[in-house]
C-alpha cells in the first residue's frame, strides 16, 4: 500500500460526502478532508479536475488518480486496487442512506397494498 494520503474534496451541502467519509473511516484509510467552500485553492483545484465544475466529492487517490462523484462501489474497488481492505461493515455504513430509502419504499408499498 502506498503511504500517501487520500484527499477528499467536498462541502457540507453534498449528501455523498458523509457516506464517502464513513467508508474511508471504517476502512482505516489515511485521508484528509478539504471543504472547498472554505478553501479557495481547493475549490480551484476541483474545478481544474472537473472541467470547470465543482463536482464533489472529488477524491485523489495515493497514485494521483482522481475520482469525481464516485459510487461507493467504484470507490471501494479503487481503494482495494490501492491495497486497502474494505470491510463489509464499511460498505454497509456507506450505503446506509440508500438501504433505509429502499426499506421505506418497500414498507410504504406494502402499507399501500394493505399487506401491513
Q: Look at the block and give the residue holding cell 487517490.
A: 61
Is the four-CA dihedral 4, 36, 58, 27 of positive or negative sign? positive
17 within a domain of the structure (yes/no) = yes
Residue 37 domain-assigned (yes or no): yes
pLDDT 10s digits, 17-33:
999 999 999 999 999 99
Residue 87 belongs to a domain = yes
Q: Residue 20 belongs to what domain range?
A: 6-112
Does 1 map to a domain?
no
**Residue 28, by phi and psi: left (phi above 0), alpha (psi -120 to 50) or beta?**
left
Total number of domains in the chain: 1
Flag whether 10 is in a domain.
yes
Is residue 33 one of the residues assigned to a domain? yes
Asked if residue 14 belongs to a domain, the reply is yes
d(CA 104, CA 101): 5
Query: Taking Cα atoms as reference points, which of 1, 46, 50, 47 lies closest to residue 27?
Result: 1
Answer whether 0.75 is exceeded by the pTM. yes
Q: Does any domain span residue 95?
A: yes
The pLDDT tens digits of the residues spanning 25-60 come to 999 999 999 999 999 999 999 999 999 999 999 999
Calculate mean pLDDT across residues 3-12: 89
CATH code: domain of residue 70 = 3.40.30.10
Amino acid at each position: 500500500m502506498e503511504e500517501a494520503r487520500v484527499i477528499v474534496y467536498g462541502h457540507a451541502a453534498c449528501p455523498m460526502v458523509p457516506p464517502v467519509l464513513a467508508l474511508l473511516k471504517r476502512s482505516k484509510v489515511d485521508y484528509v478532508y478539504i471543504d472547498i467552500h472554505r478553501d479557495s485553492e481547493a475549490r480551484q483545484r476541483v474545478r481544474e479536475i472537473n472541467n470547470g465544475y465543482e463536482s464533489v466529492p472529488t477524491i485523489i487517490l495515493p497514485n494521483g488518480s482522481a475520482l469525481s462523484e464516485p459510487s461507493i462501489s467504484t470507490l471501494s474497488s479503487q481503494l482495494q486496487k490501492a491495497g486497502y481492505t474494505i470491510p463489509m461493515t464499511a460498505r454497509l455504513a456507506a450505503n446506509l442512506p440508500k438501504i433505509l430509502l429502499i426499506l421505506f419504499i418497500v414498507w410504504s408499498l406494502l402499507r399501500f397494498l394493505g399487506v401491513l
